[in-house]
Structure 1
Amino acid sequence: MNPGLPAGWTIERVRALSGDPTAAALSTDRLVVLEVAAQDDYETLRPDVLLAFHELCLVRDGGEWFMGQLDDDGSVICWGSYGSELAEAIRGL
């Protein structure tokens, strides 16, 4: 199964590269925001892929991968972009 991952990617490949055997694709039907430090505000993201690595997440919005944290209520607060390549974003975990 390829839950919206880029071509050539599977959840097994994500797990292998990240070293996290529990990495999982989560539903994008949740609040996901990007912290905008300069404005002390948040921008709402509309992800098409959300990958969880324990409490850390990678979220793809507009072809760009953002890193964030999964909160207890299921929402995700992202703090920065890690580029357009999933492999590079995973290495940033």
Structure 2
Amino acid sequence: MNTELPEGWTIERVRGLSGDPGAVPLSIDRLAVLEVAGQGDYEPLRPDVILAFHELCLVRDDGEWFMGQLDDDGSVICWASYGSDLAEAIRGL
């Protein structure tokens, strides 16, 4: 599984665009799910990149970035897709 940032991206660029000098990549060896709106149910994600911005996270699954929150147990619960463009997803933070 690829855990690399998209071509042309570095963690420094992520930090600069987000304005968060503490942004870090996280291990993908954790539970990541997408909350199904209005159903109280969750779909599992298969992330190949997870970026943490304090409690908020961006999770990439199959080329699509999902916004979520890091839970106390280390899992990530996502609530929406922010598309395939990392810059746009970061702007959505």
Question: Could you tell me the TM-score, scaled by structure 2's length?
Answer: 0.95
State the match for 1:4 in structure 2: 4
Q: Could you give the per-residue CA deviations for residues 43-62 of structure 1, whole angstroms, max 9, x where no partner exists?
A: 00010000000000000001
Query: In the alignment, residue 78 of structure 1 is paired with which amino acid?
Result: C
Counterparts of 2:8 and 2:58, CA distance in 1: 17
Secondary structure of the structure 1 residue equivalent to 2:50: strand
5+ long unaligned stretches in structure 2: none
Deviation at 1:39, TM superposition (A): 2.4
2:59 partner amino acid: V
In structure 1, the gaps of 5 or more residues are: none
Equivalents in 2 of 1:35, 1:50: separation in Å? Answer: 17
The equivalences for 1:1-93 within 5 A come to 3-93=3-93
Structural RMSD (CA): 0.8
User: In 1, Cα distance between the equivalents of 2:63 and 2:73?
Assistant: 26
**Code of the aligned partner of 1:31:** L
Counting aligned pairs with the same residue, the percent is 82
Aligned residues: 91
Whole-angstrom distance in 1 between the partners of 2:37 and 2:20: 29
Report the Cα distance in structure 2 between the residues aligned to 1:81 and 1:49, rounded to whole angstroms: 14
